Amino acid sequence: MRQTIAALFLAGTLSAGAQTLTMAVGAPVTSLDAHFHQLSPNNAVASMLFDRLVNTDAQARNVPGLAESWTAIAPDIWEFRLRRGVRFHNGQEFTAEDVAFTIARVPNVPNSPSSFAGFVRPITRVEIVDPHTIRFSTNGPYPLLPQDLSNIYILDSTTHAQATTEQFNAGPMAVGTGPFRLIRHANGDRIELERNAEYWGTAPAFARVNYRMITNDSARAAALLAGDVDVIDQVPTADLARLRTDSRVALAETVGLRVIYLSFDHSRDDATPFVTDNDGRPIARNPLKDVRVRRALSMAIDRAAITSRVMEGSATPSGQFLPPGIFSHVPDIAAPAFDAEGARRLLAEAGFPQGFRITLHGPNDRYPNDGRIIQAIGQMWTRIGVRTAIDAQTWTTFVARAGRAEFSAFLIGWGSNPEGSHPLRNLIACQSRERGWGNSNRGRYCNEALDQGLVRALQTLDDADRERQLMALQRQAFEDVAIVPLHIQTNIWAARRGFEVTPRADELSLAQSVRPAAAR
Amino acid sequence: MSGVVLAPVETPLRRFVSEFFASSIAAIGLAVFVVIALAAIFAPWIAPQNPYDLAVLDIMDGRLEPGAVGGSGMTHWLGTDDQGRDMLSGIIYGLRISLLVGVGSAFIACMVGASLGMLAAYAGGRTDSVIMRVVDLQLSFPTILAALMILAFLGKGVMNVVIALVLVEWAYYARTVRGSALVERRREYIEAAICLALPTRRILFNHLLPNCLPPLIVVGTMQIARAIALEATLSFLGLGVPITEPSLGLLIANGYEYMLSGKYWISFYPGIALLITIVSINLVGDQLRDVLNPRLKK
């Protein structure tokens, strides 16, 4: 009898221990308002508190969220059938009214540093058919609407009618339909969550979650090894080799959707600011406008050396935006092969047999090993005669200057939605306020023919046909070396023994992705 | 008479030298510093590799252990850093930047600070108040914070680091010089010089300054060590020199992330080099203070 009680007591404490999950993430969350700032860390927290009409699974595929199904009932009208019996954390019922309210709120969040408005701009009219059916009219056929709506978190029309971003951050308005409810938010330090017992989907494994932000890489890895936290994201590459052999820790990895690439100055035909001849005099024409020079600079890069030596295997060399297995990945574009001899020949053909001097810019605190990667590229370019100076800056300074097209060549990254038109529209298309394209086209590449093709592709409802068109457009862009892709990052989480993480392609660190590991 | 051996003439310099070398620790410190300085000056001839030439670095040689042989057949006695840079060469070249920045900024700061300090002491009144309140303001700021703000404004680069260090350090010299100049200017020889109607500039630099030198030399040596440490800190924080031309502080910063994974040498050896440099300068400075301070004499 006494033994049974002791056993019960022990079981009780053990399961109580297993009921709390402490995880540490590397990037700070800037707001709990799900429509305030398009940023992966914010989206991760929003995905725990809120739901979308269309959710995405670990492979970034669309799966039913608050909408059970969706169909295009006419070329320019989408109908979404909503889930019944779903309640917000405060007991309010979820209906089509809430969807209409959310669509209306998204473009009207004051002071948003990076708005979600682009995702709802195609919607010209919202029609509520009944409390659980809603229709969206678009300006012409728009096959990507479900994809776009997978970025929009649904709020409650009564609770959030007057809600401000500050009220979300303070806590009282952070009320959604998601798998967790908010207990406490200490800005930039931690977020405490509790399981939503009435959640409509798969119940989360842990009753309480302590979601901490530890931005220093070494400190985060040390916290995991010390047992202060159970799971960390953004495992520092310097620690990978050691963690792989540590039996107390298990790694979960998947190829991500973020491509790291070089961008060149396409905006100037005459001298570009950071290219000079070997004596330091400006060159009258911009050599980077010559496709042979761009191709030579791409061929001179030993991508395999960067992924193995600098990234320690946590990246895959790439010659395009998307990894294999994702809609509109182009199987016949391989990562450009390393060929220093060929690069020298191409440079000579382009009229630069002695090379030139260039400064390669990049951030030093944004992507894993960003400063190291540009130094390595500096070595490789210098070896083909393009004497390279390296200038690594903090992200905020760097990105502002890159946005003003102040650089000649620079390294930057892009996290894609899982289909080719997203990077094409943002990175390759000509800058156009009217179309909302080229927002992140910092090299100012512009090819009208390609843009026309992109307009056509985006109006093609048939998936297979659209994929063919998008693949052709990507071939065209990379044939012309519009940008120079380097590699696609691998997303890596590390968990202590007893915890298991489902790795996500979209980088989001979610508490619902963590489960107690099966006994080993 | 012819059998009497005359003692060497006791000049002040000889006395100073013999007193300085009375402490063997200070002598060792000076010797180490001379070796370091020579290594820094002749770096291009003694370093096995030019660590600032990207063309000779190979990423495939990255993070080799001390004693390992790289792809080009070169033995890396202290290992390599993450870019495949030979650590021994990196340290020798790094010392060069550290000493250049340390000595250069201390020298310029000394000139600026000493001039302003003497002016304050000699002119007195309003000039004194204005200069010394600026010094107070400067000294009330944490040095590293002030340097960070100046560099954030000026941008990276060796020259900018020197400017930043001069701007944060001149105040120490000004205060020191003013203190001793205040005492000296009441002395009879200054009054005599004034009575002779010598030009102010001549009184300041030919009469007053030489008599304020001993404390200035002591502060100067200490400030060189401080400037080197400060430059290392700034580079460690990513605000100092460019990443392709690392100083000791930047070499330490590069290796810091690898400490946990057992690749100690990237941070460790530059750290030791920095430590030895600063300690040797401080030993020399300590002894100078003892020798040059008449109040510490038995």
Of B53, B59, B256, the CB nearest to A310: B59
Is the Cβ of A390 closer than 8 Å to some Cβ of chain B?
Answer: yes
Name the B residues in 31-60 with CB < 8 Å from any A CB: 53-55, 57-60
How far CA A166 is from CA of A89, A109, A179, A493, in Å, comes to 19, 11, 23, 31
Of A163, A182, A205, the one marking the end of a domain is A163
Check whether residue A335 and residue A484 sit in a common domain.
yes
Query: Do the Cβ atoms of A495 and A515 come closer than 8 Å?
Result: no
Structure tokens at B110: 């000394």
Nearest CA in chain A to B261: A239
Tell me, yes or no, whether A12 lies in a domain.
Answer: no
Within 8 A of A364 by CB-CB distance, chain B residues are 238, 243
- CB distance A376–B59 less than 8 Å? yes
Nearest CA in chain B to A217: B257
Within 8 A of B252 by CB-CB distance, chain A residues are none
Cα–Cα distance measured from residue B33 to residue B15, given in angstroms and rounded to the nearest whole number = 22
Is the Cβ of B11 closer than 8 Å to some Cβ of chain A?
Answer: no
Instruction: Tell me which of A379, A387, A393, A395 to substitute to probe the interface with B (most B C-beta atoms closer than 10 Å).
Output: A379
Within 8 A of A385 by CB-CB distance, chain B residues are none
Burial class of A113 by CB neighbour count within 10 A (0 to 12, 13 to 18, 19+): exposed
Tell me, yes or no, whether A510 lies in a domain.
Answer: no
pLDDT of residue B256: 83
Q: How far is A340 from chain B (nearest CA, A)?
A: 13
A275 forms bridges with which residues in the sheet?
Answer: A358
Contacts of B163 (CB under 8 A, 6+ apart): B150, B154
Q: CATH number of the domain that A117 lies in?
A: 3.90.76.10
Nearest CA in chain A to B53: A379
Cα–Cα distance measured from residue B238 to residue A398, given in angstroms and rounded to the nearest whole number = 14
Distance of CA A97 to the CA centre of its chain: 30
Tell me, yes or no, whether A197 lies in a domain.
Answer: no
Helices and strands (DSSP H and E) totals, chain B = 12, 2
- CB distance B62–A309 less than 8 Å? yes
Is the Cβ of A278 closer than 8 Å to some Cβ of chain B?
Answer: no
Low-confidence residues in chain B, pLDDT < 50: 1, 298
**pLDDT tens digits, one per residue of A254-268:** 999 999 999 999 999
Check whether residue A264 and residue A371 sit in a common domain.
yes
Boundaries of every domain in chain B? 86-293
Query: Do the Cβ atoms of A328 and A477 come closer than 8 Å?
Result: no
Is the Cβ of B179 closer than 8 Å to some Cβ of chain A?
Answer: no
Q: How far is B57 from chain A (nearest CA, A)?
A: 7
Tell me, yes or no, whether A304 lies in a domain.
Answer: yes
- CB distance A364–B238 less than 8 Å? yes
Helix (H) or strand (E) holding A168: helix A165-170
Is the Cβ of A187 closer than 8 Å to some Cβ of chain B?
Answer: no
Within 8 A of B256 by CB-CB distance, chain A residues are 218
- CB distance A302–B58 less than 8 Å? no
Instruction: Provide the number of structural domains found in chain A.
Output: 2
pLDDT in tens, chain A (520 residues): 445 444 444 444 444 445 899 999 998 898 999 999 888 899 999 999 999 999 999 999 999 999 999 999 999 999 999 999 999 999 999 999 999 999 999 999 998 888 888 889 889 999 999 999 999 999 889 999 999 999 999 999 999 999 999 999 999 999 999 999 999 999 989 999 999 999 999 999 999 999 999 988 888 999 999 999 999 999 998 888 888 889 999 999 999 999 999 999 999 999 999 999 999 999 999 999 999 999 999 999 999 999 999 999 999 999 999 999 899 999 999 999 999 999 999 999 999 999 999 999 999 888 989 999 999 999 999 999 999 999 988 888 898 899 999 999 999 999 988 999 999 999 999 998 778 788 889 999 999 999 999 999 999 988 999 999 999 999 999 999 999 999 999 999 999 999 999 999 999 999 999 999 875 5
Q: What does the buried/exposed string (b/e) look like for B200-232 if buried means 16 or more CB atoms within 10 Å of the residue's CB?
A: eeebbeebbbeebebbbbbbbbbbbbbbbbbbb
Sign of CA dihedral A352, A355, A361, A362: positive
How far CA A32 is from CA of A27, A35, A38, A423, B214, in Å, comes to 14, 9, 11, 27, 62
The CATH T-level fold of domain B86-293 is MetI-like fold (1.10.3720)
Tell me, yes or no, whether A342 lies in a domain.
Answer: yes
Within 8 A of B244 by CB-CB distance, chain A residues are 375, 378, 389-390
Query: Do the Cβ atoms of A328 and A420 come closer than 8 Å?
Result: yes
Helix (H) or strand (E) holding A23: strand A20-25
Half-sphere exposure of A140 (CA within 13 A, CB side): 7
Burial class of A107 by CB neighbour count within 10 A (0 to 12, 13 to 18, 19+): middle
Tell me, yes or no, whether A181 lies in a domain.
Answer: no
- CB distance B257–A390 less than 8 Å? no
Q: CATH number of the domain that A338 lies in?
A: 3.10.105.10
Q: How far is A274 from chain B (nearest CA, A)?
A: 16
- CB distance B262–A242 less than 8 Å? yes
- CB distance B82–A372 less than 8 Å? yes
- CB distance B83–A371 less than 8 Å? no
Check whether residue A140 and residue A268 sit in a common domain.
no
Domain span at residue A435? 257-489
Within 8 A of A306 by CB-CB distance, chain B residues are 59
Of A218, A241, A389, the CB nearest to B244: A389
Tell me, yes or no, whether A446 lies in a domain.
Answer: yes
Q: How far is B267 from chain A (nearest CA, A)?
A: 14
